[in-house]
Amino acid sequence: MIDDAHLTHGLAGDELAPDWPALTHDEVAPILARIPLLGAFRSLDWLSPRPLSAAALATTDAGPVFIKRHHRRVRDEITLGEEHRFARHLRDRGIPVPRILTDAHGASVFGTDAWVYEVHDAARGVDVYREAYSWSPIGGVRHAHRVGAMLARMHDATVDHHAPQRSTHILVARADILSAHDPVDVLDAQLAARPALARYLAERDWQRDMTSILSASHARIARDLAAQPALWTHGDLHVSNLCWSDAGDDATITDVLDVGLSAKTFALFDLATAIERNAIAWLDIERGDIGRHDIARGLIDGYRAIRPLHAADLALLADLLPLVHIDFALSEVEYFEGVTGRRDHADVAYHTFLIGHARWFATRHGRAFLGGNVFQ
């Protein structure tokens, strides 16, 4: 049974009423009816607590499926199609990504006036981290090693995915600003096409804030960032986006979920993002000592068991970590300001995420995390 008091994960490790209405049986039924192979729709079984869209598991004659709904201001047929082509590319090359289901005409995006829907086979395995909040660390080093190795396999699989950059900035893990020679100028140039972000930033001394975040470190690595080979990347390989063979330490990954943040970036960007998401307990930032060296090392060791990482790569990875979140944090500001109208959430994305995460790396604990033997 579904709990009528459906809540979603908040930005501070709390539970909140959802920004988007939960999926209902009457809403899901006509969408699933457009996929002939599913047969009859039997039940709606579980509502996802993830906050940026509405999603659920459902049972059909053909078995369980996962259905997800987006508002058209977040995704449409074009932007969701970009994700589906990337997911199919991964699946065709042996990465365990759930199959995307289509109608009789081959369409995988099901639109209505206000919404677009996508339907996938339910993921295989155990959703060990189903209730884990974003930015909560991996349960153990062996899981971290598996995640790092899977990320490397994905990067090997996407070398020949030559699609252009995503056609949206909203809730996408791009690296355009990060990789620019002058990030402040590039962001300023983007604002005409990003009015909600422009509106929010106009009330702040954002150039000063960005300059403070970038400090001298960006200038030092700008040339190396510009030289990184372009690669389509997952952008959010947190353990909550993986399913496992079981809940034990020796479990293997059975499925990779949710390529919604995917974009054309570069491999070290994706690895740095995985470390930032999985090895630092951001929800406990007031504690100070929130970096998990063992988890970061497990991710790196798992990755380089598949793809080589040289000393220069590891040094760049350490320099990249305090900055890797910039583009996505601004994307969240744009989403909350312009789509959901939640200025309070936009403030969290700006002050706590964009600025706060960068500043933590300048603290004693942050410097120790970057300066230890993890990145050697």
Q: Is residue 135 part of a domain?
A: no
Predicted confidence at residue 263, as pLDDT, reads: 98
Q: Is residue 2 part of a domain?
A: no
Query: Does the structure show a pLDDT above 90 at 103?
Result: yes
Print the domain residue range for 269: 141-375
Nearest-angstrom CA–CA distance, 197 and 346: 10
Q: What is the mean pLDDT of residues 332-346?
A: 97
Q: Is residue 129 part of a domain?
A: no
Structure tokens at 119: 């339907």
Query: Does the structure show a pLDDT above 50 at 304?
Result: yes
The band of 9, judged by pLDDT with boundaries at 50, 70 and 90, is very low
Pair 147, 113 in one domain: no
Q: Is residue 104 part of a domain?
A: yes
Q: Is the dihedral of CA 145, 148, 151, 155 positive or negative?
A: negative
Pair 117, 154 in one domain: no
CATH number, domain at 160? 3.90.1200.10
Predicted confidence at residue 11, as pLDDT, reads: 52
pLDDT in tens, 119-139: 999 999 999 988 877 777 888
Predicted confidence at residue 6, as pLDDT, reads: 52
Pair 230, 99 in one domain: no
Pair 299, 167 in one domain: yes
Pair 280, 197 in one domain: yes
Pair 177, 75 in one domain: no
Q: Is residue 51 part of a domain?
A: yes
pLDDT in tens, 268-278: 999 999 999 99
Q: Is residue 128 part of a domain?
A: no
Tell me which of 212 and 137 has the higher pLDDT: 212
Q: Is residue 201 part of a domain?
A: yes
Query: Does the structure show a pLDDT above 90 at 290?
Result: yes
Pair 48, 181 in one domain: no
Q: What are phi and psi of 178, to 5 degrees?
A: -55, -45
Q: What is the mean pLDDT of residues 287-309?
A: 96
Domain count, the chain: 2
Query: Does the structure show a pLDDT above 60 at 7?
Result: no
Pair 111, 149 in one domain: no
CATH number, domain at 107? 3.30.200.20
Pair 96, 149 in one domain: no
Nearest-angstrom CA–CA distance, 137 and 134: 9
Pair 366, 239 in one domain: yes
Query: Does the structure show a pLDDT above 60 at 181?
Result: yes
Pair 219, 264 in one domain: yes
Predicted confidence at residue 187, as pLDDT, reads: 98
Predicted confidence at residue 15, as pLDDT, reads: 56
Among 90, 121, 152, the domain boundary falls at 121
Torsion of CA 71, 75, 78, 80, to 10 degrees: -110
Predicted confidence at residue 1, as pLDDT, reads: 45
Residue partners of 188: CB distance under 8 A and separation at least 6: 207
Nearest-angstrom CA–CA distance, 73 and 154: 29
Nearest-angstrom CA–CA distance, 320 and 338: 28
Nearest to 49 by CA among 9, 79, 20, 101: 9
Q: Is residue 136 part of a domain?
A: no
Pair 226, 363 in one domain: yes
Query: Does the structure show a pLDDT above 90 at 217?
Result: no
